């Protein structure tokens, strides 16, 4: 009895599992679904079985066999979205990017407004290095899912990759309209305005931040930096002071105000601010450097008069020593030259005498020979 119950439970479980798999495979549009009718049972069985078999093969890691089965399923039922989606995912995994793109584009014929498929296609275009098409797909996703901030962030990054900074700024603006406290979008927009030198837009944007958060010292500090960079020193000082009012030990703002006072020649006030910044945060390297420069500025300069006579003497001494060195060198070279010349002359005279002796000997021997020949005659 126990065995019968056990076998019955297994059969029931298998039947339910097969029914679920068939239902998953049927959750697609078949060619006849446009008319509202389903294919006959015999026509439906083979692609469903093949699809289920391909899913099992994929689960067991037999990717190539699974891809083969999915292709067979699509040959029998071209509108099987699930099979096509799984096949495209396999192509992406194997690095066959053009084939994956083709499959996702075919899926979009049936599901034009599916943001998930658009996202897969955008990712495939990005892997293929086709950033133009990828941005077009991300734009479509942003329209279909307007509150998806990660898609907007990715779209802005693609614009920046392509050098379209104005378009990226527009996307960041849209992100901040949805989420005003998005720090990533805020910082990216500030970076773009600085790179494009759009200082008026940047000041207006930072003013929005100070109006929204009037008690935030960081917002006032950032606005002060832009004012200082654009040489609006009075406005910059006002913003730094506001930041210090909100937070008395805000080291960055104290340091910035001290730096500003140094620029404008208010040295005593600069010293006061820089010492306060050093006390608030001893690790600020800029503060230590500015204090060092300020100490050198405030140190009384000692003027030492130089004696002209001593300098003249040094100059004459130097000149005389250089002359002596030159003359010594000259005499040495002369001696060397004369010595060399004398030795060469001696060698030449010796050589000459030798040749003369040889010549006289030769001549005398010749005269003797002639004399003997005459006597014989």
Domain ranges of the chain: 40-143, 146-196, 202-297
pTM for the predicted model, two decimal places: 0.61
CA distance linking residue 344 with residue 18, whole number of Å: 118
Residues 75-84 have pLDDT tens digits of 988 989 999 9
CATH architecture of 40-143: Alpha Horseshoe (1.25)
- 3-state SS of 73-126 is HHHHCCCCHHHHHHHHHHHHHCCCHHHHHHHHHHHHHHCCCCHHHHHHHHHHHH
Cα–Cα dist 298/279, whole Å: 21
Q: How many H helices and E strands in the chain?
A: 17, 0
Q: Looking at the predicted structure, is the pLDDT value of residue 376 above 90?
A: no
Token pair belonging to 46: 């083979």
Burial 366-376 (b: 16+ CB within 10 A, else e): eeeeeeeeeee
Distance between CA 154 and CA 161 in Å, rounded? 11
CB atoms within 10 A of CB 329: 10
- pLDDT-derived band at 181 (thresholds 50, 70, 90) equals confident
40-143 and 202-297 in the same fold: yes
Task: Report residue 19's pLDDT band, with 50, 70 and 90 as the boundaries.
Answer: very low
Q: What is the chain's mean pLDDT, rounded?
A: 79
Three-state DSSP at 303 gives coil
Residues 52, 44: Cα–Cα separation, whole Å: 12
Helices 251-263/217-229 angle, 10° precision:
20
Confidence class for position 292, pLDDT limits 50, 70, 90: confident
Give the architecture (CATH level 2) of 202-297. Alpha Horseshoe (1.25)
């Amino acid at each position: 009895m126990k065995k019968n119950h056990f076998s019955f439970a297994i059969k029931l479980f298998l039947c339910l599992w097969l029914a679920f798999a068939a239902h998953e495979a049927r959750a697609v549009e078949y060619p006849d679904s446009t008319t509202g009718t389903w294919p006959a049972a015999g026509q439906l069985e083979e692609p469903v079985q093949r699809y289920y078999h391909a899913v099992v093969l994929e689960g067991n890691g037999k990717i190539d066999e699974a891809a083969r089965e999915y292709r067979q399923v699509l040959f029998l039922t071209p509108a099987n979205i699930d099979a096509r989606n799984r096949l495209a995912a396999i192509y992406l995994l194997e690095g066959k990017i053009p084939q994956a793109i083709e499959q996702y584009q075919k899926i979009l014929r049936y599901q034009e407004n599916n943001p998930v498929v658009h996202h897969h296609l955008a990712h495939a275009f990005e892997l293929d290095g086709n950033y133009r098409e990828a941005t077009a797909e991300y734009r479509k996703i942003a329209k279909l899912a307007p509150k998806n901030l990660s898609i907007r962030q990715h779209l802005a990054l693609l614009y920046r990759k392509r050098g379209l900074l104005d378009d990226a700024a527009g996307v960041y603006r849209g992100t901040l309209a949805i989420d005003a406290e998005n720090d990533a979008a805020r910082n990216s927009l500030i970076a773009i305005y600085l790179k494009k030198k759009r200082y008026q837009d940047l000041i207006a944007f930072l003013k929005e931040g100070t109006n929204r958060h009037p008690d935030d010292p960081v917002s006032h500090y950032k606005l002060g930096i832009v004012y200082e960079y654009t040489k609006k020193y009075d406005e910059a000082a006002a913003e730094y002071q506001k930041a210090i009012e909100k937070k008395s030990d805000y080291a960055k703002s104290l340091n910035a105000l001290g730096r500003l006072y140094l620029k404008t020649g208010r040295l005593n006030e600069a010293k006061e601010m820089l010492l306060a910044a050093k006390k608030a945060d001893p690790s600020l390297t800029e503060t230590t450097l500015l204090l060092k420069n300020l100490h050198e500025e405030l140190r009384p300069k000692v003027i030492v008069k130089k004696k002209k006579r001593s300098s003249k003497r040094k100059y004459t001494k130097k000149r005389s020593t250089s002359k002596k060195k030159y003359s010594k060198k000259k005499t040495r070279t002369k001696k060397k030259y004369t010595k060399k010349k004398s030795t060469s002359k001696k060698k030449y005279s010796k050589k000459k005498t030798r040749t003369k002796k040889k010549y006289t000997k030769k001549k005398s021997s010749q005269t003797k020979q002639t004399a003997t020949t005459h006597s014989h005659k």
